[in-house]
Structure formats: structure tokens, C-alpha cells
Structure 1
Amino acid sequence: MTGTSLPSWLLAHRDGCVVLVSAQPGARRSELVGLHDGTLRVRVAAPALEGRANEALREWLAAQLHCAVSRVRVLRGDKSRRKQLLVELEPAQVLARIGPLLAQAQ
């Protein structure tokens, strides 16, 4: 899979791939709600307090990707709604698992 065939929210990285997310903390439940400005918009069921929303986002993404939480980490955006999450999986694997969720959300 080449970099040009990836969607705007997914970037190739030497350690796997980077998922671009716009997070909405404080939601009733964590869920993918669609796209926003080239990122995945994810509602997070945790407050933006003491890193709880970041941890909940990591756990949600790891669950969707069927991987360990340790394989998902925040690269950028620790204190921002716009985040870059490094996922230690191939971009094709991430796209195969997130694509159907995104289709349902839109």
C-alpha cells in the first residue's frame, strides 16, 4: 500500500502508522462518529482531565484494532482535541478495521 492510496486520516510511519483524530471528550460512550477536517472524529467517554480522555481514546482504538493498548500511543496533541496516535500495525490492517466503522458512522 502506497502513501498516496491512504485516506487523509491515516499516515504511514516507520513503526506502523499514524491515525489522525479529533477527539470529543466527555461523551456518554466512546465511538467513531465520522470525519472532521481530514481526521477521524471520535467521541470519548472520559473527561479531558489528568490524561483520562487520552487513555480512554487509546483503549478504544486498541479495542477496535484488536491489538494491545501498549501498541497505541499519543505522538502529538496530548492536551489538544486534535491528536496523532502512533499505532504499531500496518496501515492496511488499520484501514481494514476502521473502514467499516467509518462507513457505518457516515
Structure 2
Amino acid sequence: MSAPLRIRENGIDLFVRLTPKSSLDRLEGVETSADGRSHLKARVRAVPENGAANQALERLVAKTLGVPASSVSVVAGGTSRLKTVRIVGDPEALAQRVEALG
């Protein structure tokens, strides 16, 4: 299974499948979709209205990876369950932290 990320010059893009309105906020590991792409499963309590679930996802990813919340942003899939989250920082260190979640 491949890692659910793409290395960038100044960080990584993390591929996430988000489930809003969950009972708790958590990252649940990596899964592979039917088309063969890997993504990190995430659940947040926030509702998918006015970007609340995306903001909760950004905070959850920042806390889990130990980076400032300002370095995490949803850059694609704002209204979709499948999202791309950009994390600015040392790409190798971030990739290792993500792979440890799997």
C-alpha cells in the first residue's frame, strides 16, 4: 500500500477521506479505495456546514502531526469527502509522521 501523500518542496499534500458528524475527532489509519489510491481516514465531530468540518480536520491534522495549525490547510475537495490537505514543513519528517499513523 502506498502512503497517502505527495512530497512537495516545502511540505506534503495529504490525501484524506473525511467523515463529519462523528462521535469523536480522530485519524483512523490508511485505507485504499476501489481505484487503488490510498488515503488517511479521518472523523470529526463538526458538521459539514460553512467549512466547519474542514477547519476541524485542519486542527486535528495539526495536533496529530505536531505542527502549527497555520501550516495546515485544505487545498482541494472543500465540499467533498475526499480532500487534499497541504502541510507546510520539513517534507521528510512530515512523511515519516504520516507513515507512522498507518
Q: TM-score range with shorter-chain normalisation?
A: 0.7 to 0.9
C-alpha RMSD of the superposition: 1.4
Count matched residues: 96
Query: Would you say the 8 A contact 2:12–2:95 is kept in 1?
Result: no
| 1:81 paired to 2:54 | no
**3-state SS of the aligned residue for 2:14?**
strand
**Gap regions ≥5 residues in structure 2:** none
| 1:94 paired to 2:94 | yes
Q: Give the structure-1-normalised TM-score.
A: 0.81
Matches within 5 A, 1:1-106: 7-36=2-31, 37=33, 38-102=38-102
Q: Give the structure-2-normalised TM-score.
A: 0.84
**Gap regions ≥5 residues in structure 1:** 1-6
Identity of aligned residues (%): 28
Structure (1 or 2) with the greater helix fraction? 1
CA shift, 1:33, in A, is 1.6
